[in-house]
Amino acid sequence: MRWFFLIAAMLVPLAGQAAASPCLTRGTGDMGIIIERAAGSLQVVDTTAHSELFRVEGLGDLSHASAVYSRDARYAYIFGRDGGLSKVDLLCGTLVKRVVQGGNSIGGAISQDGRLIAVSNYEPGGVKVFSAESLELLADIPATRLPGGKGSKTVGLVDAPEQRFVFGLYDTGEIWIADLTDPKAPRLQRFKDIGRQPYDGLITPDGRYYIAGLFGEDGLALLDLWHPERGPSRILNHYGRGKKQLPVYKMPHLEGWAVAGDRAFLPAIGLHEILVVNRDGWQPAGRIQVHGQPVFVMARPDGRQIWVNFAFPNNDTIQVIDTETLKIIKTLKPGKGALHMEFTPRGEEVWISIRDLDQVKIYDTRTLEQTASLPADKPSGIFFTSRAHKTGL
């Protein structure tokens, strides 16, 4: 009887969807999702068993999709390219709710207290804030208007301590801080002239510094969120000085902060290099020549290695860098379309989606050998629940 009601309750909002499976009773700490970008579906996976638990369909255009987790790590919120915001229940393998909130979204974040979901949009530019519970719209923050009436594209949206969100405005070269303490009346702080064409942003894991990558400048913009009144400053200015800028066939992603000891690692743009910066004073501390335009530069959770993937036409390659010597210790050729990497919570494994092989390959990060694989339909982003408790992820 109980099952009947449970199943009936799950089926009602999802009429037309594949029949729901019974819900699992287990912790979600070793679970995650794999985005299947072309099919508009995702897999719920078990990272201990290396297995698929559920496939959830009907999520729309998932190219470039990203995800965040509720603080109980039961629900994933997926931000799709078509402006769709979907809430997926990992234990039941169901799409709980989906709203199409904007024309063209690029990413999102969950607030410090877990109650708000913010989504940034290319079109119309701006940020919308939703209830994490119901996906009801709570606040709409339009971006600066451009001549012609369109809003500036918003990029690099992250959550920050004290119930804030921070994001960049691509067309107008701004960083905004939105304080959502009262979701009905967001308080905005706007910083102008931060540099040309910010294309993405990241926040340090302690939530103190926001860094925007700039497409139109040789440098990055840094904002100290403990002292926003000091305004943004420029770091790694002229890192590419005198060098010929190479074409960029895919924009790098700054999400995730690759830190090892007192050094941080960032993708250069227009150079086949990784920039090393001293966190103490933000001075350049070196550069590493790599195989192509880096896209994701990710540190193994213990900071001992950096794993890098690359833009077209080098997206068949992954390089592993030793953070002590700054040397490349391995060049892997896992297959064409190596789009995304995700470490297990303590970093003994890394999962890599290989789009053109319809596979996710799993590597042991000690031996740097592949140990397992999982079939997936044109996989792109991989997101594990350990993100639930990390600022900026």
Per CB under 8 A, residues contacting another protein are: 37-38, 61, 63-64, 81-82, 103-104, 106, 122-123, 153, 170, 197, 199, 215-216, 247-251, 312-313, 337, 355
* Nearest CB to another protein, comparing residues 176 and 199: 199
Query: Interface residues for ligand HEC in 280-299 (CB under 6 A)?
Result: none
Cβ proximity of 339 and 62 under 8 Å: no
Q: Which residues pair with 131 in a beta bridge?
A: 116
104 binds, among ligand HEC, another protein, none (CB under 5 to 8 A by kind): another protein
63 binds, among another protein, ligand HEC, none (CB under 5 to 8 A by kind): another protein
CB of 144 to ligand HEC, least distance (A): 17
CB of 378 to another protein, least distance (A): 8
Cβ proximity of 335 and 316 under 8 Å: yes
CA 393 – CA 376 distance, rounded (Å):
23
Piece of 90-98, 218-226, 244-252, 326-334 that binds ligand HEC (CB under 6 A): 244-252
As a whole number of angstroms, the longest Cα–Cα distance in the chain is 73
Q: Which residues pair with 137 in a beta bridge?
A: 130
> Residue 62: CA atoms inside 13 Å, Cβ hemisphere, count?
27
* Nearest CB to another protein, comparing residues 22 and 313: 313
Write the CB contacts of 216 (distance below 8 Å, at least 6 apart in sequence): 173, 195, 196, 197
134 binds, among another protein, ligand HEC, none (CB under 5 to 8 A by kind): none
CB of 119 to another protein, least distance (A): 15
Query: Interface residues for ligand HEC in 245-264 (CB under 6 A)?
Result: 248-251
Of the candidates 256, 196, 251, the residue with the CA atom closest to the CA atom of residue 221: 196
CB of 289 to another protein, least distance (A): 20
Cβ proximity of 308 and 321 under 8 Å: yes
* Nearest CB to ligand HEC, comparing residues 250 and 390: 250
Q: Considering CB under 6 A, how many residues would be counted as binding ligand HEC?
A: 4
Instruction: Identify the three-state secondary structure at position 11.
Output: helix
CB of 156 to ligand HEC, least distance (A): 16
Cβ proximity of 362 and 50 under 8 Å: yes
CB of 340 to another protein, least distance (A): 12
Q: H or E segment at 5?
A: helix 2-11
**What does the block give as tokens for 374?**
């999982």
* Nearest CB to another protein, comparing residues 55 and 150: 150
Of the candidates 126, 214, 124, 201, the residue with the CA atom closest to the CA atom of residue 173: 214
* Nearest CB to ligand HEC, comparing residues 249 and 282: 249
CB of 379 to another protein, least distance (A): 12
CB of 382 to another protein, least distance (A): 17
CA 393 – CA 27 distance, rounded (Å):
20
* Nearest CB to another protein, comparing residues 37 and 128: 37
Sole residue written with tokens 């340090």: 204
> Residue 155: left if φ>0, alpha if ψ -120 to 50, beta else—which one?
beta
* Nearest CB to another protein, comparing residues 215 and 282: 215
* Nearest CB to another protein, comparing residues 37 and 98: 37
List residues binding ligand HEC (CB under 6 A): 248-251
